[in-house]
């Protein structure tokens, strides 16, 4: 009756359950007495939906140091370095780097990624490479591509035309970067233009919006207005929104209800926002993370994105969404048990909702994609960022790892140390 049963795991909500899988679907969650062709004993382990990353740049991944490292650590030097690299990187190189990263992702239980693809250069080699990667990983990893005009929709001479070309080639989502256009006016116009394109083509829309420390940047407001105008709701997202960190509180008291009214989602990227923002400050130095708890309190769906791993903007990274949530938890000061549990949901089910992948959950009828972690519950998973003992994608086991306890050789002490309490 079942091809695979994951036995006795603890679900994120605390229930202990067996999960029965047939083909690529979960068919039963509860107490299962039947046998299966294959069983995984998850007794005492956390079993959760796969990790999902709604904001990444896979065309640049694993390129750290090419053509040289980012000496100032700023967003602008990163953009400039990437401008050089994208002209010399070949399709084959980009595909190879991306596939290596996808292997890391799968091993960490990260099974869906939304990646922004730079559409600035007329050669569109990045688009060609990412479409090929998407095709190759499709059996086990959902890759969603965003047409991202890195150098501006209008600021780059062929910016608009290349976004449309990329969408015609099969890129899934419309992007944008209003704060990088020449003026506030042109930034706002780019949002009106891109919102229309998304609505007319029936596509999702995800904008790098106000990734700046400028408290006067007002593109989030325009984005929310355009999402409301076209009724895009949760099919639209604002990425970063870091200007909101620095904005006047009175203005924010008007802005957050407008965001909530639009139904759009928010995607802060804590690893990168904490390192890139505030670089022009002396002290006190701003953190540069958007107002996560306040947005959530207003009913906005907020996810955590990774953004970068080993590239011109970020010199570290592991493809582990628990690292991302761990940093987000600290910077947003989400330390109450309920807030920590929310941080775990943000990198699993809430990120999945942002990407329109509601079938990534542990319910009968859902896709049989899940992760078994060496942790007892979501908060412990955040504390330990533990081994992924098994990763199942669409009914297939795609990664296994042995439990990895430390071995001590101290006289009078136990031989093994488990980090779990």
Binding site for Fe ion (CB under 5 A): 307
Q: CB-wise, 307 or 320, nearer to Fe ion?
A: 307
Q: CB-wise, 307 or 387, nearer to Fe ion?
A: 307
Q: CB-wise, 210 or 307, nearer to Fe ion?
A: 307
* Strand (E) or helix (H) holding 325: helix 321-331
Q: CB-wise, 180 or 326, nearer to Fe ion?
A: 180
Q: How far is the CB of 149 from Fe ion (least distance, A)?
A: 12
* 191 contacts 177 by C-beta, under 8 angstroms: no
What is the crossing angle of helices 337-345 and 321-331, to 10°? 140
Q: CB-wise, 307 or 374, nearer to Fe ion?
A: 307
Q: Which residues neighbour 123 within 8 Å (Cβ) at sequence distance 6 or greater?
A: none
Q: How far is the CB of 56 from Fe ion (least distance, A)?
A: 8
> DSSP label at 349?
I
* Strand (E) or helix (H) holding 261: helix 249-262
In 138-248, which residue ranges form alpha helices assigned H by DSSP? 159-169, 184-201, 219-230, 243-246
Q: How far is the CB of 388 from Fe ion (least distance, A)?
A: 25
* Peptide bond preceding 317 in cis form (omega within 30 of 0): no
Cβ neighbour number for residue 372 with a 10 Å cutoff:
25
Q: CB-wise, 59 or 345, nearer to Fe ion?
A: 59
How far is it, in rounded angstroms, from Cα 344 to Cα 262? 25
Q: How far is the CB of 102 from Fe ion (least distance, A)?
A: 18
Q: Which residues neighbour 88 within 8 Å (Cβ) at sequence distance 6 or greater?
A: 67
Q: Which tokens is 400 given? A: 């296994």
Q: How far is the CB of 405 from Fe ion (least distance, A)?
A: 37
Catalytic annotation, pick one of 181, 211, 226, 350: 211
Q: How far is the CB of 33 from Fe ion (least distance, A)?
A: 48
Q: What are phi and psi of 115, to 5 degrees?
A: -120, 130
Q: CB-wise, 53 or 345, nearer to Fe ion?
A: 53
* Nearest alpha-carbon partner for 149 in 139, 161, 159, 136: 159
* 326 contacts 270 by C-beta, under 8 angstroms: no
Q: CB-wise, 213 or 387, nearer to Fe ion?
A: 213
Q: How far is the CB of 242 from Fe ion (least distance, A)?
A: 11
* Nearest alpha-carbon partner for 123 in 92, 166, 94: 166
> DSSP label at 43?
T
Q: Which tokens is 126 given? A: 């990045």
Q: How far is the CB of 38 from Fe ion (least distance, A)?
A: 39
Specify the pairing of strand 388-393 against strand 396-400.
antiparallel
Active site residue 211: yes
How far is it, in rounded angstroms, from Cα 84 to Cα 213? 25
Q: Work out the end-to-end distance of the chain between its first and last CA atoms, rounded to an integer number of angstroms.
A: 37
For residue 386, how many C-alpha atoms fall within 13 Å in the half-sphere facing its CB? 27
Catalytic residues: 211
């Amino acid at each position: 009756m079942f091809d695979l049963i994951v036995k006795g795991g603890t679900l994120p909500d605390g229930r202990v359950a067996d999960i029965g899988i047939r083909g690529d679907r979960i068919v039963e969650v509860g107490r299962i007495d039947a046998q299966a062709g294959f069983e995984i004993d998850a007794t005492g382990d956390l079993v959760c939906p796969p990790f999902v990353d709604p904001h990444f740049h896979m065309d640049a991944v694993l390129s750290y140091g090419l053509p040289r490292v980012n000496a100032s650590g700023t967003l602008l030097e990163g953009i400039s370095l990437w401008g050089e690299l994208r002209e010399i990187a070949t399709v084959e190189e980009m595909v190879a780097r991306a596939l290596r990263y996808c292997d890391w992702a799968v091993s960490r239980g990260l099974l869906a990624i939304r990646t922004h693809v730079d559409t600035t250069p007329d050669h569109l080699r990045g688009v060609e490479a990412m479409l090929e990667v998407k095709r190759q990983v499709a059996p086990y990893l959902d890759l969603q591509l965003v047409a991202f005009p890195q150098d501006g929709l209008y600021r780059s001479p062929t910016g608009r035309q290349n976004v449309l070309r990329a969408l015609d080639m099969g890129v899934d989502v419309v992007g944008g970067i209003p704060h990088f256009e020449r003026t506030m006016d042109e930034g706002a116009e780019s949002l009106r233009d891109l919102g229309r394109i998304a609505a007319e083509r029936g596509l999702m829309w995800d904008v790098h919006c106000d990734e700046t420390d400028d408290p006067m940047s007002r593109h989030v407001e325009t984005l929310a207005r355009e999402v409301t105008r076209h009724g895009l709701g949760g099919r639209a997202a604002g990425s970063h929104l870091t200007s909101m960190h620095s904005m006047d509180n009175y203005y924010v008291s008007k802005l957050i209800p407008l965001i909530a009214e639009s139904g759009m989602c928010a995607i802060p990227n804590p690893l990168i926002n904490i390192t890139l923002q505030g670089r022009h400050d002396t002290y006190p130095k701003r953190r540069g993370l958007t107002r996560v708890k306040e947005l959530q309190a207003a009913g906005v769906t907020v996810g955590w994105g990774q953004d970068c791993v080993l590239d011109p903007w970020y010199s570290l990274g592991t493809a582990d969404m628990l690292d991302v949530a761990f940093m987000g938890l600290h910077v947003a000061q989400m330390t109450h048990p309920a807030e920590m549990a929310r941080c775990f949901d943000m990198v699993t089910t809430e990120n999945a909702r942002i990407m329109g992948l509601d079938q990534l959950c542990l319910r009968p009828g859902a896709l049989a994609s899940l992760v078994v972690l060496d942790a007892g519950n979501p908060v412990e998973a955040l504390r330990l960022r533990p081994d992924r003992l098994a990763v199942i994608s669409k009914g297939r086991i795609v990664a296994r790892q042995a439990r990895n306890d430390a071995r001590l050789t101290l006289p009078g002490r136990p031989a093994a140390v488990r980090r779990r309490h």
